[in-house]
Amino acid sequence: MKVIKFGGSSLATGAQLEKVSRIIQADAQRRVIVVSAPGKRHAGDTKVTDLLKELADAVLSRQDPLPLIDVILARYSEIQTHFALAEDVVAKLRAHLISLTQQTYSSAAYLRDAFMAQGEHMNAQLVAAVLKAQGLPACFVSPQTLGIVLAGQPGHVQVDPQTYRNLAQFTFPDADIVVPGFYAFDAQQRIVTFPRGGSDITGSILARGLHADLYENFTDVSWVYAADPHLVKGPRAINTVTYREMRELAYAGFSVFNDEALIPVIEANICVNIKNTNDPTAPGTLISPTKNVKHHHHITGVAAKKDFTALYLHRYLINAQVGFTLKLLQILSNYGVPYEHMPSGIDDLTVIIDKHELTAAKQQAITEEVQAQIQPDTLECLDDLAIVMVVGEGLYASIDLVPRIMVALADAGVTPAVINQGASRISLMLAVPNAQAQAAVQAIYGLSSNHHA
């Protein structure tokens, strides 16, 4: 059995949904179909999820929600009309969406999650109706029916272990099941969502919980590339990549797959095949356990992600002070701020934080508290940094590779502010100014391309 997930671009129009239908019919093993909300139809379009966020804000500010509801449902009406469905699915979706505007929620955050989940919820019902109208045995099944339970708060949720016990008890109907991605329910039956791109996570949870043989993730590219095609012209395709490599690359900006989505399939040792809805016969990129992957390059990929802040502390004899790092991390924890990297020396420490986790007021409060409690000799905030990740299981195999990377960056006029490599040696993290991120990626990719690194 295969779990198959389709992204928003694959479901944006009726013509795209025709391709989805043919892909499902081409393989009887594709029994579980996870869908995203409709994506952009063209460059200037707006994603349905973004429209739903606007709707949530309108409800919170007590504005008339009906004009936005009409705009949102027009996207689904186009698809319904394209397939000339006998059943008026959109009328039911309208009634459902209006009812949500009349409910009460425990907080504004839960209201936003409830509304932003509706893109996938409504699309799964529409896709199931389309497939059924085409003679395919298909039915809508909600995350609640499957028993997917999430723990945590909006914006920070995790899968409750009870989910896998529930999925083990699920009995397939005599039909393929169409499941909305991106959201599920918590123990109090409140809707909560994963991070954006979270439909990948839903597919991964179902692949593990339903013991799939393969998880196929259909998007709008035929492969994962060794660098972002927007940054590097004609980058090479990656045929196979390890779980660890894909996690590092996805974290650092490879948007083709959500980095959190790999955890369930790693735990179940299930391979993920990234494929293209517009070119479904292309083999795509296979994400596999390390033992199954043989690389021809020491550098598998290089990625960049912008907008980080580095909190730099200097104080003599940090290495001799028991609990120094604990005090710093406790301050960050008190403000609900996670950190990304923490390279250090005997007298200094750098904490790299995603700027989206910080407001100006929060950053000021943290620095003041660090100054008061830890009393560093030097405390600086280095803003507008990009994280560049050089990733490859073979990085350790070439003893001169890191020096060559540094030379390539110097030749390109790029000066890293921070350099960090863990003991696993499958990735090298470089923090560079945002403005130098593209030059850094191009320099490192050129090194790996020209010298077979």
What is the rounded average pLDDT of the residues 352-360?
90
- The pLDDT confidence band at residue 421, using thresholds 50, 70 and 90, is confident
- Closest of 180, 303, 182 to residue 238, by C-alpha: 303
242 or 297, higher pLDDT: 242
What is the rounded average pLDDT of the residues 405-428?
88
What is the rounded average pLDDT of the residues 51-79?
95
Residue 424 pLDDT > 90:
no
> At residue 213, what are phi and psi to the nearest 5 degrees?
-80, -25
- The pLDDT confidence band at residue 449, using thresholds 50, 70 and 90, is low
Q: Are 139 and 88 in contact (CB under 8 A)?
A: no
- Share the mean pLDDT of the chain: 90
Report pTM. Answer: 0.86
Residue 422 pLDDT > 80:
no
Look at residue 396 in the predicted model and tell me its pLDDT.
Answer: 72
Q: What is the pLDDT of residues 182-229, one digit of tens each?
A: 999 999 999 999 887 789 999 999 999 999 999 999 998 888 898 988
Residue 164 pLDDT > 90:
yes
348/343 Cα distance (integer angstroms): 9
- DSSP state at residue 277: T
Q: What is the pLDDT of residues 286-302, one digit of tens each?
A: 998 876 677 667 888 99
Q: What is the pLDDT of residues 373-388, one digit of tens each?
A: 988 999 999 889 999 9
Domains annotated on the chain, with CATH: 2-220 (3.40.1160.10), 301-451 (3.30.2130.10)
Look at residue 97 in the predicted model and tell me its pLDDT.
Answer: 94
Torsion of CA 282, 286, 291, 296, to 10 degrees: 60
- Residue 3 forms beta bridges with which residues? 32, 215
Residue 453 pLDDT > 60:
no
Pairing mode, strands 176-180 and 30-35: parallel
Look at residue 450 in the predicted model and tell me its pLDDT.
Answer: 57
Residue 58 pLDDT > 60:
yes
289 or 25, higher pLDDT: 25
